[in-house]
């Protein structure tokens, strides 16, 4: 996402500069995320870029090379910054452009900033090297690092006036975040193993003979790796199906944004399902032209209409 922030007579030059910085961060690092937020109107696109830039900062602390105690301190500092944003203590002349942009966004959209505290909690789990025995355990982590992002984003998107069951929108946004995170975990299983991290539940690994881990480019001897991947893919598909019920509740462009981001991950899931062992040989990804196609499909509203029809059929 390389476009500059448009001038706006209602937004000061310092805030515009802060948003411009966040959009540059998003365009440089967001990959799949950037395809979706391109479809948003300017105010929402700016706000989403600010959310991404702060979230990226938290993730970078967790993934960096700093000593564990330094990481923990940096995360505490970021939590304090979020508290300052929440209480209106960040002003336009602050030297941190991400804080300035997010403070402006939070003043104009009902963003549940406590979701950023949840994200920090999740990254602290990474810093501590936590592992997960069951899917219920892993869900807690996924809700922190991805479900919270879904709920934060919903604060920017909003729901359409009169949308049926709109009170369940945060739940669906959270579930869609879980679907994306589980897809990420499958895609990055070897990369995470090389970093000393295991996310898939120990119960599932044991069930399919994969407890030895994934440090090599081949599955553990005697393991049913394909069975493990297909089991987790089915779980992710069920989460996508539930989370997609959010789409008809959103306005056209917000729905297009969500459909584009989720659609990219669903296609990644399709690739992983077709060739499970590919995730042990390198990162599975989609070419740019396919991501662009998914974005156009999202803008057409086709996915939202499909979900609406399926919901009607279930009620009949």
Rounded CA gap, 93 and 90, in Å?
8
Mean pLDDT, rounded, for 175-182: 97
- In a domain, residue 113? The reply is no
Mean pLDDT, rounded, for 105-114: 97
Tokens found for residue 242: 């539930």
Average pLDDT over the chain reads: 90
Give the pLDDT band of residue 316 (cuts 50, 70, 90). very low
Residues 174, 226, single domain; the answer is yes
Listed residues 49, 75, 108: the one ending a domain: 108
Phi, psi of 61 (to 5 degrees): -60, -50
The predicted structure's pLDDT at residue 41: 95
The predicted structure's pLDDT at residue 303: 56
Give the range of the structural domain holding residue 56, as residue numbers without chain letter: 12-108
- Output 33 or 244, whichever has higher pLDDT: 244
Residues 71, 140, single domain; the answer is no
pTM: predicted TM-score of the whole model, two decimal places: 0.89
- In a domain, residue 64? The reply is yes
Give the pLDDT band of residue 278 (cuts 50, 70, 90). very high
Residues 173, 100, single domain; the answer is no
Residues 158, 299, single domain; the answer is yes
pLDDT at 39 over 50: yes
Task: Tell me the three state secondary structure of residue 272.
Answer: helix
- In a domain, residue 294? The reply is yes
Residues 159, 245, single domain; the answer is yes
Residues 211, 305, single domain; the answer is yes
Mean pLDDT, rounded, for 238-242: 96
Mean pLDDT, rounded, for 292-300: 69
Tokens found for residue 39: 């479809």
- In a domain, residue 5? The reply is no
- In a domain, residue 215? The reply is yes
pLDDT tens figures, 118-168: 999 999 999 999 999 999 999 999 999 999 999 999 999 999 999 999 999
The predicted structure's pLDDT at residue 2: 34
Residues 223, 75, single domain; the answer is no
CATH of the domain at 230: 1.10.600.10
Give the pLDDT band of residue 3 (cuts 50, 70, 90). very low
Give the pLDDT band of residue 250 (cuts 50, 70, 90). very high
Residues 156, 299, single domain; the answer is yes
Range scoring the smallest mean pLDDT among 66-70, 206-210, 238-242, 302-306:
302-306
Cβ atoms within 10 Å of 86's Cβ, excluding its own: 17
- In a domain, residue 158? The reply is yes
Listed residues 108, 139, 169: the one ending a domain: 108
The predicted structure's pLDDT at residue 301: 59
Q: How many domains does the chain have?
A: 2
- In a domain, residue 123? The reply is no
Owner of token pair 């306005």: 251
Best CA proximity match to 124, nearest among 160, 93, 191, 79: 79
Residues 212, 96, single domain; the answer is no
Residues 155, 245, single domain; the answer is yes
Listed residues 77, 108, 139: the one ending a domain: 108
Mean pLDDT, rounded, for 19-26: 95
- In a domain, residue 104? The reply is yes
Residues 91, 40, single domain; the answer is yes
């Amino acid at each position: 996402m390389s476009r500059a922030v448009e001038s706006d007579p209602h937004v000061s030059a310092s805030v515009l500069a802060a948003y411009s910085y966040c959009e540059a961060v998003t365009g440089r690092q967001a990959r799949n995320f950037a395809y979706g937020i391109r479809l948003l109107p300017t105010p929402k696109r700016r706000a989403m870029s600010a959310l991404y830039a702060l979230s990226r900062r938290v993730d970078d602390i967790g993934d960096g090379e700093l000593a564990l105690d330094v990481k923990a301190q940096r995360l505490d500092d970021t939590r304090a910054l979020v508290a300052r944003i929440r209480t209106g203590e960040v002003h336009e002349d602050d030297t941190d452009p991400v804080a300035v942009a997010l403070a402006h966004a939070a003043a104009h959209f009902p963003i549940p900033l406590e979701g950023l505290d949840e994200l920090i909690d999740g990254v602290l789990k990474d810093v501590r090297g936590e592992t997960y025995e069951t899917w219920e355990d892993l869900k807690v982590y996924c809700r922190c690092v991805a479900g919270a992002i879904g709920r934060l984003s919903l604060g920017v998107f909003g729901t359409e006036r009169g949308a049926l069951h709109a009170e369940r929108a945060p739940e669906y946004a959270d579930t869609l975040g879980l679907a994306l995170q589980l897809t990420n975990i499958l895609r990055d299983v070897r990369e995470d193993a090389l970093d000393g991290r295991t996310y898939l539940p120990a119960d599932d690994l044991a069930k399919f003979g994969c407890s030895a881990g994934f440090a090599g480019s081949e599955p553990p001897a005697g393991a049913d790796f394909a069975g493990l991947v297909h089991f987790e893919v089915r779980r992710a598909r069920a989460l996508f199906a539930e989370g997609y019920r959010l789409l008809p509740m959103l306005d056209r462009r917000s729905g297009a944004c969500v459909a584009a981001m989720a659609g990219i991950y669903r296609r990644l899931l399709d690739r992983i399902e077709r060739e499970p062992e590919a995730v042990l040989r390198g990162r599975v990804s989609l070419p740019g032209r396919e991501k662009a196609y998914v974005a156009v499909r999202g803008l057409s509203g086709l996915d939202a209409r499909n979900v609406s029809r399926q919901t009607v059929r279930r009620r009949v």
